[in-house]
Structure 1
Amino acid sequence: MRRFCSLVLSGLGAVLPAASSASANDYCEDLWFTRNAIMDRAGYCFGSNLGKAVFDNSDCIGKTVEISPTDQRVVAHIQNAERDADCRIDTSNRQLSLRDLDRRKNLWDLPVRSEDALACMGWRGEQLPLRAGHSNSAPVTGKVNHGDIVEMNFVGDQGWEYLQVLTRDWDVVTAGWAKVEFSPDVCDGIIP
């Protein structure tokens, strides 16, 4: 039985399985976004086309910003994962292909992409509220309902998992954090 359990960021050694260049690019874009969203929230001023297109420079304070020790560890983890996956994001582009980019910008807590991925085909569990952060006081961003396709591609944090609810065409319907202990019993089927 496979259990989806929370991982501590400092204990991770992310390695990208090279399934395809498209999935490798998605993984790298995801890591790039989260790393730079942390910097954006600290007031970093982006100079690249991609940075200026994805983030709002109107409230930036400079190229040197301070981030918390926790964010420093997350950024270091992401940079290691990017190196391990040989990520090369073309920052002359003006867009990312992330399926839930707009939703992620409004999160209290940013998810970090994991090397592990699985999709729960047909959620059997109870209705599950999704939240903007790792707290029951965080705003509800959506919910997982009976029969939904639920994708889990992110590192758990403090017992919370970032879940994406998908259509049959794999478009993101909603996403957010949930306090959940995953087991195969809550799915009609699992795609690793």
Structure 2
Amino acid sequence: MRTFFLTAALICTAGTASALCEDAWYLRNLAFDRAGYCFGSSLGKSVFSADCSTKSPRLTDWDQRMVSAHKKLEARYSCKINTKDRRLAASLIGKLEDVDLLPTLSEFESSCVGYTGAPVTMTSGIGMRDSYPTGIIASGETVHFRFEPWGGFEFVETDSGAGWVPEGSITPNTCEVFAG
């Protein structure tokens, strides 16, 4: 019964297409913000830094791939973000300040409820010498997977933070319940 209840709760709270669209828009535009883009829309101006320098930013290859992937995802889901609005309900706002390499959303989600393994350090990037810890996944936490893995790493979220971990660090065997 416990497994059914937890699974049902995860299904009810899992991201809707609207939430996916808002997070995709946010991630895509966060890359532009970090590159110094000066937003013209009301939404861009209210969500991102006013500290800008250009209307033609240069994105890194990594960010360009991430932006392209999110544009395709937004097209597939027929996303319509009202950029005249001043508010965005993206769940990722405030979670990625310490992350150097922005993740790419997946169309699929899963969660590890009640992590039972050894502590796992989340990092700002993927195996880079300059990566630094962004948090620790501790016993009992819920870990959310909703991003594409890359280069032997996967991006995860917890209530206490977000970051990159080596693929396979968290498995269904190290969870009280694994859903998704």
TM-score relative to the length of structure 2? 0.83
2:85 to 78, 87, 93: 93
- Correspondence for 1:38: 31
- Correspondence for 1:174: 161
- Correspondence for 1:5: none
Task: Give 1:61 deviation, angstroms.
Answer: 2.3
Does structure 1 conserve the Cα–Cα contact (< 8 Å) formed by 2:103 and 2:148? yes
After superposition, the CA RMSD in angstroms is: 2.2
Deviations 1:6-39 (A, max 9, x none): xxxxxxxxxxxxx99x611110111101111111
Letter in 2 for 1:178: V
- Correspondence for 2:62: 70
Question: How many aligned residue pairs are there?
Answer: 167
Task: List, as ranges, runs of 4+ consecutive aligned residues in structure 1 with deviation greater than 4 Å.
Answer: none
- Higher relative contact order, chain-length normalized (CA < 8 Å, sep 6+): 1
Task: Give 1:186 deviation, angstroms.
Answer: 1.5
Aligned-pair identity (%): 32
2:135 to 135, 142, 150: 142
Distance 2:88 2:126 in 1: 25
- Correspondence for 1:159: 152
Distance 1:79 1:149 in 2: 29
Does structure 2 conserve the Cα–Cα contact (< 8 Å) formed by 1:116 and 1:153? yes
- Correspondence for 2:178: 190
Distance 1:93 1:118 in 2: 31
* Secondary structure of residue in 1 paired with 2:131: coil
TM-score relative to the length of structure 1? 0.78
